[in-house]
Structure 1
Amino acid sequence: MAIARVDFIAGMAKGLAVLESFDTQRQRLNATLAAERAGLTRAAARRHLLTLAHLGYLETDGSWFWLAPKVLRFSGSYLASSRLPRAIQPTLNRLAGPTGESFSAVVLDGDHVVIVARSGSAQLAYGLHLGARLPAHATSTGRVLLAAKPRSEFSAWLKGRELPRLTGHTTTEPRAFRALIEQVRQQDWCVASEEHELGVHALAVPLRDMDGRTVAALNVVSTRQRLDARALHKEFLPVLQEAARELRALL
């Protein structure tokens, strides 16, 4: 959403940038690291860190800072108030029950996809917890959601973007990735095999509302020991497509 410059609160944007600097790779930051990650001066980063700690969103030992439980207020409020997770959750539970596989609903957020609902399957062992952020280019859901973009918007998303190699199977060459997204756009589903994590296969389909807009992606994840990519596609594509049709009226 674009807003007028006069309405933009730069201090809030900088504070959120500092808060977003914490992730699974960097769980603890000092002022220098936070400045590098948030694109701020060290002095500005330090002030934001201290303010966030004062407000209870960070904890600190005086030099290092880390996220406090209070940040969960944001995700908790979203999950409690957003219609999408609540509408999808019963379907995920129903799919997981007889199969033992892991099912998730995912939305796109810039370079990443975010899990907003998931089944409680015991097989979910790949860090795919609720709220997890995964690189869009290397995931089945990310590719489905990128394929849903108009071609001009996808081109703008891809232009100049580095696609990190996460495994030896990850597609990182822009021309090959563009062709892959076009294939997903044509077939309306995607299998990603060991591109995000070795030994893990995932299949995804788009979730559309009654107006035909793609609002999320639905996927199933399995291990190489349980199902290979071909078997995953054969067994679960009809299941996911039927679930997507059933959910359309609720989205």
Structure 2
Amino acid sequence: MIARADFIEGMAKGLAVLESFDTERQRLNATLAAQRAGLTRAAARRHLLTLAHLGYLETDGSWFWLAPKVLRFSGSYLASSRLPRAVQPTLDRLAAHTGEAFSVVVLDGDQVVIVARSGPTRLLAYGLHLGARLPAHATSTGRVLLAAKPKTAFTAWLKGRELQRLTACTTTDARGLRAIVEQVRQQDWCVASEEHEVGVHALAVPLRTMEGAVVAALNVVTRPERLRPPAVERDLLPLLQDAARQVRPLL
């Protein structure tokens, strides 16, 4: 926890406004930004104007949208972080060998973030690009990372949380998700089919350090028939598990 005297409230509010932009709301005015960031309209307007002045937003005077300058943050992370650099050669090798799309994902609150990926352009589904943020409860990687939490920590994460329905297949009840996560904890892998996006079928395994800590998840997006038993345990699962063992000394 940070000391109250060290907390810069204005910076926190400005970042909250910046984080209000996503794939659902690509353009915001002061009223919408205020609602999404939990600010007054006047405060949201000042933050929007400041961010536009600094080059992080573009505007037509009423509406605001993200400017390319925001990519400096993600670009700096991808260039300096050890994880994306460590796993990228393995992802490229897997994609070249199988013709499938592979990703490495980390957990951030109630979402997962794609930090590395490789695969044929035709398989890079909408919403699964580098840097994309996806709901943890509805993705194979999210469930793997939730299963890595201590049971008490997962219970705290789940308590009072609304599990948004994204497709007809999404698990939205807490009891159902708890059962799924427990199964993932036991088997150490997860399949999720069309729970986040129609047409997306994925298999994920955890990525561990040499000390055994789960730091990310590795997944493959593929055809549904490849994820049915016994095909998944015969083909793709051993491939992912072997890749996870190979990168372990690098994490």
**TM superposition shift of 1:98:** 1.9
Question: CA offsets, 1:121-172, max 9 Å, x none?
Answer: 2222232110011110000000000000111111111000000111111111
- Structure 1 match to 2:44: 45
Structure 2 unaligned residues grouped into runs of 5+: none
Question: CA offsets, 1:76-111, max 9 Å, x none?
Answer: 000000000000000000000021100000000111
- Structure 2 match to 1:220: 220
Structure 1 runs (4+) greater than 4 angstroms displaced: none
Residue type of the alignment partner of 1:134: L
Task: Say if 1:234 and 1:93 are closer, same or farther in 2 by CA, change over 3 A.
Answer: same
- Structure 2 match to 1:72: 71
Q: Is the 8 A contact 1:29 1:66 kept in 2?
A: yes
Residue correspondences, number: 249
Q: TM-score, normalised by structure 1?
A: 0.96
Give the Cα separation in 1 of the matches to 2:210 and 2:127: 32
* SS at 1:249 equivalent: helix
Residue type of the alignment partner of 1:107: V
Give the Cα separation in 1 of the matches to 2:175 and 2:200: 25
- Structure 2 match to 1:21: 20
Q: Is the 8 A contact 2:226 2:236 kept in 1?
A: no
- Structure 2 match to 1:167: 167
Give the Cα separation in 2 of the matches to 1:208 and 1:14: 35
- Structure 1 match to 2:197: 197
Q: TM-score, normalised by structure 2?
A: 0.96
| RMSD between superposed Cα atoms in Å | 1.2
Instruction: State the identity %.
Output: 80
Q: Is the 8 A contact 1:203 1:233 kept in 2?
A: no
Give the Cα separation in 1 of the matches to 2:202 and 2:174: 21
- Structure 1 match to 2:87: 88
Structure 1 unaligned residues grouped into runs of 5+: none
Give the Cα separation in 2 of the matches to 1:151 and 1:160: 16
